[in-house]
Structure formats: structure tokens, C-alpha cells
Chain A
């Protein structure tokens, strides 16, 4: 890094989407001081997100990756696709939370700006071409989500969730930093591509120190993604956090974690593929096993969805294990599909929440089909999709991951994954059974709002459309990642 290099305003062009979003966040902070109606704040937030989305779209037209800040930041198809996931996650989360946060009595402008800051952090992570930037993005995301998890300050569970998330998150970023410092010490650089070159040039592929550094970095990403055995925080935090934040957290940080995991493992540690594959395979199997099995005995739906999200992280990891760019493509594809079906499922959970009624127990879904057939049908679609039943999108996501896995020669892993997928059908379909085959207990009242309907319409339509027309998304993700 030569300080003499002239910096120009053009140099920050790849950073414009993040800048847009950060500005939107700052504006929201100030706007919140003036405006009383939180819907307006939320609408401005959505507008900012759409502006950033537009910026990403405009910049994406360039075939070549564009670098900024002395090669520390890169805008390429890979990061752009993940940013699309983050935008969708953000918009959908805002849509499902307007009414919900009012009921939770935690409706404040900071909520939206924190969501935006967290999303900016994820975007910076996805675009990081340097471990320093990566760390900054990760912390921006993490610090914002710590607060979001504890936003309902009066609730004991929310407090505890934030506390746990914070302590364990800080613990994991300690690991990340230590891994970064070891990698830096051995390779002499923090730039992701230069690390790869240095590993070859210095021939340190088999160095235990470098291995240790890589392990520590994987620990930190594994924590964000909620891979076993670094998943322990997830059920507690997902259960305790406000439901809209649970939805946000179950998609955003996971996607960001996969974005950096893919970039770091493929680009920086590409020469150590044998090593990291042998680490990830047991992790993936353990993750799928713990996620699918423990979910069976849950009674709280948020907790069940947390374990389900752990299991899904295991399936997504399989695409990384495949070790090919196509494998990574299938993971990205899965993440996009997961965004829709998971937020959709959480949206239904949120609808059950009303003044004085949490609606978080699986029992609360009893007989939903009788009182609210549409909500029940939507939940049915999301549950089918999470299980992976055709023609929903979930099937397509799993199918491609498994296919890439088999193409890479890991047929046994695909078989294991299908077995756990079948086990997972039990707890997803249990919800369906409660909705359709049990008689309603007490009267169910659902809370809806226009924005919630929009979010549900988007998620449901996308789950079905991507299930029937998967090539649309697949072409997009292939074009983005494979070029």
C-alpha cells in the first residue's frame, strides 16, 4: 500500500451501494428524531435499500471485477449476488416488522437504521478482498445484530439472547482475529488474493501455523453460519430475539458467512483445499444431524426453526464442500431460495403474535386451517419448501446442491443429506398436521398489515415460481458467479 498513490473520487465507485445504504442509515437516525410515524421511517429505509439495489444493478454491468481502496474491496458478480440476497432480506424484514414492532412496543427508528447498518456490514463482508475489510464488515454486522437481538429491552428472553449472542460473538471474533494475525504473520499480507499467491510462493501449504490460522477463521465463520459445533448460540438467540430479528438473523449473517467462507476458502486458501474439505465434511454431517434431530423435540416454533436453520446451513455447506465454483453456485442458489421460504415461515409466526399472545408454541398452530385457511396454506407451502418437496423452491435448492456434490464424487455425503432431509420432514410436517388435522384450541386471531401481505405475497410467489421455473434464478447465479 503506497500512500503516494493518488486517490480519486472514481476510486470509490464500487463502494457506492454500501455508501448509499450507509447514508440511508444515517438519514434514518436523524429522521427518527423528527418524524413520529415509524411507518415513514420504514418506508425511507426501503427506499434507501432500493436505491442501493439500483446502484448494485448499474455497477454489475461491468464484466470485470472492480477494485477499490487499494484492492481491499471488490465488486464482482459473486458479491453482487450475495448483496441481492441481503437487500431482499432487508426489505422483507422491514415489511414483516412494521406492525410487529409496534405490538412488541419496541417500535423505534433505530431499529430500521440498525437493520440497515447490519446489512451494510454484510455487504462489506461479501465484497471484502482483504481480511481487514472483512473484519470490519463482520463487526459492523455483528454489533448491529447484537443490539437488534436485545431490542425488546423489557423482555427477559430478549435480554438473555442479546447477552449470549454478544458474548459468544465477541469470543468468536477473538478467534477470527487470531486466525487473521497468524495468516498475516505467515504470508505477510492480508489481501485475500495475495495470501493465495504467498501460500504458493512460500510453499507453506502444509504449515501447521497456517492451518491453525485457517481453522480459527473457519471457527468464526462457522459461528456466524451456525455450523456445529459452533451453532450452540443459535437456538437460544433465535428463540429470545424478537421474531422479525430472528428472521433477519437466520438469513443475513448466514448468507454473509457463506459469502466470506466461499471467498476465503476458495481464493485465499485454495491451495489447502484438501485440508479444509476434511474439516468441513464432519462439520456438515454434524450440523445436519444435530439440526434435524434436535428440532424433532422442540415445542417452540422459533426454536424449531432455529434448529431447522442449523440443518439448512449443513445442506448449504455441502455446496462448499463440493469444492468447485459450481458447488459454490448451488450454495448461493440455495441461500436465495432459503431467504424466501424462511422469512415466509417467520412471517406467519409473526402474524400469530398479537397483544398479550406470543403465538410461538407449535400448539398455537392447532386448527389454523379452519380459522385462517390462507395463512395455513401459506405456512403449508413454506413448510413443504423447507422440507424440500417438489414443486417448491426448496426442492430445487437441495437438488442442485446434492447434484453438485455427486458430481464432485461425494455420493455418500449426498445420501447422508437425503436421510437427514427425510428426518426433517417429520418436524416440518408436524406443523402442517397441527394446522390441518387438529381442532382449533382457543380462537386464533392473526395480525396483518399491508406490508406484511406484500412480504408474504413476495415470499410465497417466489417459493412457487422458483420451484417451477428454477432456471431463472440458476442462470442469474451462474452468470454472477461463474461469469
Chain B
């Protein structure tokens, strides 16, 4: 059902992305000289305005007003039409809420966190630009705009990862994110082009309507016939794998933690990395046509979930643990998408945004208090210094590990239950998911115990400066904590409460209902299993880090190869580094360094020698003499005349 939007509605929807964009413009233009450390007075109202409008848009959608409008056509020429339009349906409405609400909180948090940074205005400018791009990505009604948003959020992410560009590791991490994402985006771009070539349109609705027509068609690649839809879906999924840091392109995300913590929370936990999930859900009509693609999504998701969780077990950097946890949780979301439970995936995306942002911001609060210390081995016992942070951390951890009636419980459970229903493959993936949940519980509590319990292991000076963060930091934390507790209450399984799964019903017009049947007994079993592993993981962690703190070291020594394997993240980074990253970086360095020599010097000294010498030669025609110029003019006229005589006979 679509309603003809009024002008007011159009203005409203246009304003949602426009407000952060204006904030970006104002900050980038005036920030350096005029606004400086007042940048948040521009950015926060803008993003809060977007939030208010997003709420209003959500209410519209809830009242059944799904809107698909071309706000304007950028280029219209014959069949080729590039338009800028919004599709505001249930899916984008939820995404809008998530993006704008989390952004608002993180913007406020950043006021405290980035206080005194020389690039304060720049930070808010980039962050606003990011929000703008993300909103465009979410609101787009065609693939081209989606692609624009996709690349733009990537660009902002690279800027922000490398925000402290004088820090070499930060600059490197930015480069790494850029290069790794090239692989995914290349596939994504190819997918979009293939869609245009085969379906003749980039508009979502037209593509989805026409997609049925190409089902069963094949495309010949290197002499082998492939199912066309499958190829398209897998290419699109390539993009999602890159952006959402799934196996095997997950390597950039942990490094991206070099960026400021609000960036990690906003971009690398709550919003941008979930763009892949959103995109797959958005293009679900295509994915539904290809069982192969769906299974690929599910398997990649399941493997990533367990794989990243194992790495997180032994990491010592607080942000890296959370980063691997993010990768793992994103795996859950893909797992849900892959089994056709799109709304479960989006539900988890939504709850995850809150508790993961909370974890990141909480860790930011810790890092801030410790003077940029990120190694958990140098923390401990912070409970008494930072009670507020400790409390919200506990809430987030309870939520992520799936303790009943918190947000994470409902969404994770929904996923596991949907997965469980999908035959043998489903059972296997469910097992992976449940195992990952056990690991999640373990490493999450490990993080708490290493950070907040025991004795402080840092330097005296750090201890001397230990303090609870100011309200500007803790208040957003509490807001997020509310989300981490309550966000899941919109998706209570029908088995526990009738009509409890309101989010699933809400999203059904866009994403459909998940297929699959299962008895109540099975469902209770799945729930019980996940509660069991959550508690089990907690208890193990408690035993290893509180009761007998010597166990981890003993275990590490005993199973040294495994520990080493996990600690070094399966050496995947090293592998990529040798095979892909180093060569690419070298190439990039050469290109960037060579820019001077090749392009600048080149034009003067003649590396594009042909054109240049040509140019120098042609310059000599220009003698500077009036008579010669007149002669050339006369000869030109004569040539035309002679040409006429010759050709017209």
C-alpha cells in the first residue's frame, strides 16, 4: 500500500538526511575559524532533528503510509534515468530509528570523549557526513543511491578510522579498511551493473517486480553456466561480506578500532557494519529466488559467528574483544537472513545496535579514564572507581549473552529458533550458533572480570587519575542501557506471549514471514539451550577469572598451540598481509608517492611523454605574432573552401 505523499511529507523525508548534511557543511566550512569547540552545537541539534523526524516517519509507516517517491531526477536522458528517491517502508523506518537514535546518543557522548581534541570540529563534521550517508543508504529507493550511500559511509569510515592520522597504526588501519573493502565493493558494484544490464532498471520496485522474469536464466562465465539470480545475489553478498566484516573479509574491523571510540560504537558496531545486513534484507526478493545464495549467506554467517567468537576468547585489547564480538553478532544476523528469517536478522540488528554501542561507549569510558589504555591486562578493579560504567557494562553483557528478558535474549533466541527449523543444515548451524553463544557469554564476562574486578594492574599514575566519567558521557550510556534492556520487548516469541512478536509482524509486509515449522517442545528446548549456554559461559568465566585466576595461564600453557592460534587470530591477518595487503599497500604507496613524480613532475618532465612533447610542439604554433595568427585564420577559411570544392566535386 502506498500513499501519494504530500509536499510536507516530502520535505520531512528530505530533511532527515539533509539536516546532518547541513551540519557537515557548516562545520567543515566554518569549523576551523569560527565554530571550533562549539561544533557539537551544530551537529547535535541536526542529528536530533533527524531523530525526531525519523520517529514521525516511523509513526507514518506504522499507520500504513509506505512511501516510495522520487524526490528528484538527477539525470534523465531517454531510458537512462538516475533519480534520487526515498523508499520509506517498515524496514527503512526501523533502520532510521536505529541510526538516528544511536547517532544522537553517540554525538552527545562525543562531546565529552573528544573534548579538547584539536580536530574537534572536523570530527563532528565527518560524523555528520557519515550519518547523512548512512541515512541515504537506508532511505534509498534504488540501487544507485544505495551504492552512493554505501561508498560514502565507507569513505567516512576510512576518514574516521584514520582520524588521528599522525598515529601510524591509525593511518594503516584506515588504509587496510579501504583496501579490504575494495574487494567486497568491487563485487557489489558488479552486482549492481549486472542488475541494470539484465533487468534494465535500478529502481528497487521495478527490479523486484522484474526479477521473477529472469529466474532460471543462466549466465555464462568462463565457459560455465551459472544461475543468473544466484550470480547477482552472490555479487551483492560480496559487498555485504566486506562491509559487515564477515569471513573472509573480517580482518579490517578489529583494526578499525584505532579510530576514536565513538566512531567504533557508531560506525563499527551499530550502523555501518550492519549495512550489509540491511542490504541483504532489502534485496530479499532477489535472495528468495536463489536457494544457493541463501545457503551461502547462512553458512558464512554461522561460521563467522563461531569463528570470531573463538578469537575473542583470548584477545587482551578491550576494544578488540568487542570488535570480534561484533563480527560474531553480525554472523548471527547473516545466519538469520540466510534461513529466510529476515525480520529476525533485522530484529537482532536493532537490539545489537543498543547493547553493542553501549559496550563500546562503556569501554570508551574506561579507556578515557585510564588515559588511553586499552590493554585489559593493565586494568582490573575498576568497579569501585567507575560504578556507573560498571553497571551499564553489566547490563550490556547480560543483554548480549542472552540472559532472559533482556534485549539480546529475544533477538538471539528468535534467530536460533528460526535456524533450528531448517532441516539438517539448520540443525548444524543452530549448533554453531549455540556454541558461539556459549563463547560469547564466556568472553563477555571475561572482559568484565578482567576490567572491573580484581586488583588494579595499571600504573600508579593511572590509578591516581582514575575517575568516573562526566555526565555527558554517562547519561548517553544510561539511555543506551535502557535500550539494551527493553529493546527486545517488541519481539517476544508468540510462545511466551501472544502477539509478542510485534516487530516481526511489523516487518512482515516487506520481509515476509520466516518459513519452517516446529513444535512447542522444540522451541522450549531451543530457548532452554540458549539460556543454559549463557549461564554456563558466565559460570566458566567466573570460575576462571574470579575463583581461580591462575587457570587461564595454565590453560594457555597446556594448549599452547590452540592459544597461539586463537591469539593470533588464526594468522589470517598475516596471511592476507603477505598475499594481499602488503602488495596492495606497496602499490598504493607507490601510487601516492609516485603521484608527485608521475603526475606533477611527469607533466613537466615528460612521463606522459607523447602528449607532453606533443603539447610542447604545438605550443610553437603560437608564435605571438599577429600576422601569423591572421595567416592561420585565413588558411583555415581557405581549407574549408578547398574542402568544399574537393568534396562537392
Residues of A whose CB lies within 8 Å of any CB of B are 163-164, 167-168, 171-172, 175, 206, 208, 211-212, 215-216, 218-219, 223, 228-230, 232-233, 235-236, 275, 278-279, 290, 293-297, 373-374, 396, 399-400, 403, 407, 423, 426-427, 429-430, 433-434, 437-438, 468-471
Contacts and interface: CB of A to CB of B under 8 A. Distances in A.
Contact of A430 (B74, B599, B615, B633): B599
A229 B633 contact: yes
A219 B624 contact: no
A373 B32 contact: yes
A470 B641 contact: no
A232 B647 contact: no
25 contacts: A164-B626, A164-B629, A168-B630, A172-B633, A175-B637, A212-B641, A215-B644, A218-B640, A223-B633, A228-B636, A230-B633, A232-B621, A232-B632, A293-B614, A294-B618, A296-B612, A423-B611, A426-B608, A429-B599, A430-B599, A430-B600, A437-B595, A437-B596, A469-B72, A469-B74
A214 B616 CA distance: 34
Given A223-B633, A236-B624, 4 more contacts: A167-B626, A171-B633, A235-B622, A400-B77
Interface of B: 29, 32, 72-78, 595-596, 599-600, 603, 608, 611-612, 614-616, 618-619, 621-622, 624, 626, 628-630, 632-633, 635-637, 640-641, 643-645, 647-648
B615 A215 contact: no
Contacts of B618: 290, 293-294
Contacts of B29: 374
Main secondary structure of the interface of A (DSSP, over half): helix
Contacts of A374: 29
Given A437-B595, A471-B72, A296 B603 contact: yes
A473 to B, nearest CB: 12
Ranked nearest first, the 3 interchain pairs of A and B with the lowest CB-CB distance are A229-B636, A232-B629, A297-B615
Contacts of B641: 211-212, 215
Contacts of B626: 163-164, 167-168
B151 to A, nearest CB: 12
A215 B595 CA distance: 46
B644 A426 contact: no
A217 to B, nearest CB: 11
A471 B75 CA distance: 7
Contacts of B74: 468-471
A469 B14 CA distance: 14
Contacts of B611: 293, 296, 423, 426
Given A235-B622, A437-B595, A278 B633 contact: no
A293 B619 CA distance: 9
B600 A434 contact: yes
A271 to B, nearest CB: 15
B644 A297 contact: no
B619 A396 contact: no
A232 B622 contact: yes
Contacts of A296: 603, 611-612, 615
A433 B599 contact: yes
Nearest to A294: B618
B80 to A, nearest CB: 8
Contact of B603 (A163, A212, A430): A430
Contact of B75 (A167, A223, A396): A396
Given A206-B648, A423-B611, A232 B633 contact: yes
Contacts of A230: 632-633, 636
A211 B600 CA distance: 47
A452 B621 CA distance: 36
Nearest to A427: B603
Nearest to A175: B637
Given A230-B633, A396-B75, A426 B603 contact: yes
B77 A233 contact: no
Contacts of B635: 229
A294 B622 contact: yes
B637 A278 contact: no
Nearest to B73: A471
A197 to B, nearest CB: 23
Nearest to A391: B74
A438 B596 CA distance: 9
A359 to B, nearest CB: 19
B644 to A, nearest CB: 6
Nearest to B83: A471
Contacts of A206: 648
Nearest to A467: B74
A186 B599 CA distance: 55
Contact of B637 (A216, A236, A427): A216
A439 B641 CA distance: 53
A448 B32 CA distance: 18
A232 B633 CA distance: 8
Contacts of B75: 396, 399, 470
Given A172-B633, A215-B640, A470-B75, A433 B615 contact: no
A439 B32 CA distance: 20
Contacts of B596: 433, 437
Contacts of A279: 640, 643-644
B608 A219 contact: no
